[in-house]
Structure 1
């Protein structure tokens, strides 16, 4: 599947550049929420989407644990600051839905806070959509056996072990409880104006392709084609770069 995956992904990434151009020219705002279990593949999906995009046209939002000050604010307040502006594409690697699954499972919020959140979300998201934000919500589904295999791979890989936080490790024992909380979340917050879409991510490459294809169907495409650019001829021969000797060159070690 490697070659076919890469070729298909590249085709979709061309379409994503058209989507980005369309947002920029129309001034529309796109907000995509990625939720799912630990190691489901949220980061990989976001990387595949943004890999070939103009970095000035999108923002990845992955907020850390709230500070003491943020913990006293209206729950949605720190997320509002990261909503997309005109022509912008915001991708939330986890979102306000932490309070629907992770926080109650791990005891990070009270029962009253959890219930208040579920009551408030549909109205909050309706305000966003009514103001013109295009909101797309994905849950990346992964079976426990596959999740455990990914945890094991991360634990043994020095380039990935940093991804295993104490919360991730503790959450491994709460697979069933988190599944129950997920279902309550979807049942309480799935609305016509902000539906939930579930993507099978047991095979991450297949999941990325399916998710990107679905995302591209959620808003009109930009009409302009993306193709070669005709470069004007240079005058004279290409020059060498001569930098002032006031700067220090990095040694060539490779």
Structure 2
């Protein structure tokens, strides 16, 4: 079947639109929270519409720059590790999704390690993170990292005082070693207020699609807000080094936090656009004696929609 130019253009545009729909779907989380705290449902105001338009315009522009960054990283063999830390519901996962959304997972991948198993607890503390470090031409985004020891492990009593102090002795040397080996290390702390975390937890409680995000550990962290604050303050003070400084993202507003973080990330590397060779779609080879065989109807997924 041969499509005319108009139909072909329409189909291509439809495919492009479908790819952007994913971002709109991700925004449902924010809209549900807005409704929960009493925001007006129904028609958006003119100001809200304009803010939404500006957000998507900037997000798509920044994602275009991330694609250029990805090509530069792959072309130059650069190695990047980006740590995302912060309280539960601070928005780490949201910004990671927007960064990786249009990128090649072979170049930019996410490491989100579960709690250590019995064997891993007997290893050198940093050992289980090392296998996730990048090779040349790769970016690795850690959704939480070795800083678990300075946060949740300290507050919940999963490490003793000696292990805690050893972490602070070791982590600056560990990170300096990574940087000397040619890995660029960027560390972000997503900062939200007491009130904002409270609202976001309520949003998860009342949304059956997101209740899975609330673990017993998350609920306990809410109760121990002040202990987490003290642990965070110690962590930032003792691990902010010239080779790998901390960057704090103000995250009470999810959308501006995403844009600010991505914009800042792009400023950390001297990337430039890598010229790609022009692409031409080759003509498909056709054979007069080829006959496509019918597929047994029992194999098809029912078309309910």
Q: TM-score range by the shorter chain?
A: over 0.9
- Aligned CA-pair RMSD: 2.2
| CA gap 1:241/1:200 in 2 versus in 1, 3 angstroms | farther
What stretches of structure 2 of length at least 5 have no aligned partner? Answer: 1-50
* Larger Rg, first or second structure (1 or 2): 2
What stretches of structure 1 of length at least 5 have no aligned partner? Answer: none
What does residue 78 of structure 2 align with? Answer: 28
**Aligned structure 1 segments of 4 or more residues deviating by more than 6 angstroms:** none
What does residue 157 of structure 1 align with? Answer: 207
Contact 2:71–2:273 (Cα < 8 Å) also in 1: no
What does residue 303 of structure 2 align with? Answer: 252
Match of 1:79 among 129, 151, 169: 129
What does residue 142 of structure 2 align with? Answer: 92
**Separation (CA, whole Å) in 1 of partners of 2:112 and 2:124:** 19
Aligned length: 253
What does residue 161 of structure 2 align with? Answer: 111
| CA gap 1:223/1:103 in 2 versus in 1, 3 angstroms | same
For residues 145-183 of structure 1, the C-alpha deviation after alignment (integer angstroms, 9 at most, x for no partner) is 000000000011111110001110001111111111111
| CA gap 1:85/1:148 in 2 versus in 1, 3 angstroms | same
Superposition map of 1:203-222 within 5 A: 203-222=253-272
TM-score w.r.t. length of structure 1: 0.93
Residue 224 of structure 2 aligns to a residue whose secondary structure is helix
| Structure (1/2) with the larger helix percentage | 2
Give, in angstroms, the shift of residue 235 of structure 1: 6.6
Residue 69 of structure 1 aligns to a residue whose secondary structure is helix
Residue 164 of structure 2 aligns to a residue whose secondary structure is helix
**Separation (CA, whole Å) in 1 of partners of 2:66 and 2:215:** 32
Residue 198 of structure 1 aligns to a residue whose secondary structure is strand
Give, in angstroms, the shift of residue 87 of structure 1: 0.5
Matched, 1:141 2:191: yes
For residues 52-79 of structure 1, the C-alpha deviation after alignment (integer angstroms, 9 at most, x for no partner) is 1112211111111100000000000000
> Taking CA–CA contacts closer than 8 Å with sequence separation of 6 or more, which of the two structures ends up with the larger relative contact order?
1
**Separation (CA, whole Å) in 2 of partners of 1:213 and 1:228:** 28
**Separation (CA, whole Å) in 2 of partners of 1:29 and 1:22:** 11
Give, in angstroms, the shift of residue 230 of structure 1: 4.7
